[in-house]
Amino acid sequence: MSAIPSVSPSLVDVTRDAYRVPGVVRLTLNRPDAFNALSEALIDAVQTELAALAKSDARVIVIAAAGRAFCAGHDLREMRATPSQEYYAKLFERCSKMMLAIQKMPQPVIARVQGVATAAGCQLVAMCDLAVAADTARFAVSGINLGLFCSTPAVPLSRNVSRKAAFEMLMTGEFIDAQKALREGLVNRVVPVDELDVAVTALAASICAKPREAVEAGKGLFYRQIEMGIEAAYQLAGQTMACNMMTDPALDGVQAFIEKRGAK
């Protein structure tokens, strides 16, 4: 009798209508034994799912993780096995492309952080549009402790928290707890770990209740204008708002406010 072949578990578990909220899709990093380290295969799996979801009717994406850790950064064993500058450059380019996909997709992306998020794992939290963390979660960009400055994590980290807070984290490699992450702006909400899904559900449902057109236009505008000078930002914002105003949900919403009735 031949043995039944084992089935390898998916690196990313996909749950549609997650938390019983239509339109919410949860992507769960599924390398718990490796603390969800970003191997090449996991980076590619996340990239593939994000690309598909960007073209779908999903309204909100939640990035979660299995096991004790959210994400421990890059897979150092895999990295050390191919010690060449060309390989490392391609690896970081590959990871950056995946991170940027989060910002470029039309749907808001929420990080559900149940455990430690270090190095590229902290980068992943910072790249998500929103983040809800358990009060037991901790964050660090700890490459400096290994002689490696966390250059790519520094990009979104320095765009989320104050310069001095980001620089201290990058230069010391020390952990910050969830409450400090909240104060510094790395996460939006901190709740007891057993209330994490309730908080994520509430945030996702709140966004899903808003008109898709406004949410998608708003996300695109938010990231484009933040890198511009103020005059260019106002020009882009005015054009975006004018286009948004001509959508049916906006026209009806404004009319409903005038008539003191509920929107359709």
Residues 6 or more apart whose Cβ sits within 8 Å of residue 67: 32, 33, 35, 36, 115
Lowest-pLDDT range of 1-15, 98-112, 167-181 = 1-15
Does residue 231 sit in the same domain as residue 199?
no
Name the domain count of the chain. 2
Span 19-41, average pLDDT: 97
Residue 7: the pLDDT is 43
CA distances from 78 to 37, 47, 94, 124, 146 (A): 10, 19, 14, 19, 16
Does residue 228 sit in the same domain as residue 129?
no
Inside any domain, residue 114: yes
Does residue 195 sit in the same domain as residue 226?
no
Residue 246: the pLDDT is 87
CATH number, domain with residue 245: 1.10.12.10
Across all residues in the chain, what is the average pLDDT?
94
Domain boundary among 192, 208, 224: 208
Residue 2: the pLDDT is 41
Span 107-123, average pLDDT: 98
| Backbone angles phi and psi of 73, in degrees to 5 | 90, -155
Span 139-143, average pLDDT: 97
Q: Is 71 in a helix, a strand, or coil?
A: strand
Does residue 58 sit in the same domain as residue 173?
yes
Inside any domain, residue 3: no
Inside any domain, residue 264: no
Domain boundary among 183, 208, 233: 208
Does residue 195 sit in the same domain as residue 220?
no
CATH number, domain with residue 51: 3.90.226.10
Inside any domain, residue 57: yes
Does residue 241 sit in the same domain as residue 191?
no
Residue numbers of the domain that contains 241 = 212-259
Does residue 201 sit in the same domain as residue 89?
yes
Does residue 99 sit in the same domain as residue 45?
yes
Residue 258: the pLDDT is 87
Reported as a pLDDT band with limits 50, 70 and 90, residue 4 is very low
Reported as a pLDDT band with limits 50, 70 and 90, residue 86 is very high
- How many CB atoms are located within 10 Å of the residue 177 CB? 14
Does residue 30 sit in the same domain as residue 83?
yes
Reported as a pLDDT band with limits 50, 70 and 90, residue 3 is very low
Span 126-146, average pLDDT: 97
d(CA 53, CA 34): 26
Q: What separation, in Å, do the N-terminal and C-terminal C-alpha atoms of the chain show?
A: 63
Q: Which amino acid is at 143?
A: G
Inside any domain, residue 2: no
Reported as a pLDDT band with limits 50, 70 and 90, residue 30 is very high
Does residue 137 sit in the same domain as residue 45?
yes
Does residue 235 sit in the same domain as residue 141?
no
- Nearest Cα to Cα of residue 69 among 150, 124, 21: 124
pLDDT digits (tens, 9 = 90+) for 175-225: 999 999 999 999 999 999 999 999 999 999 999 999 999 999 999 999 999
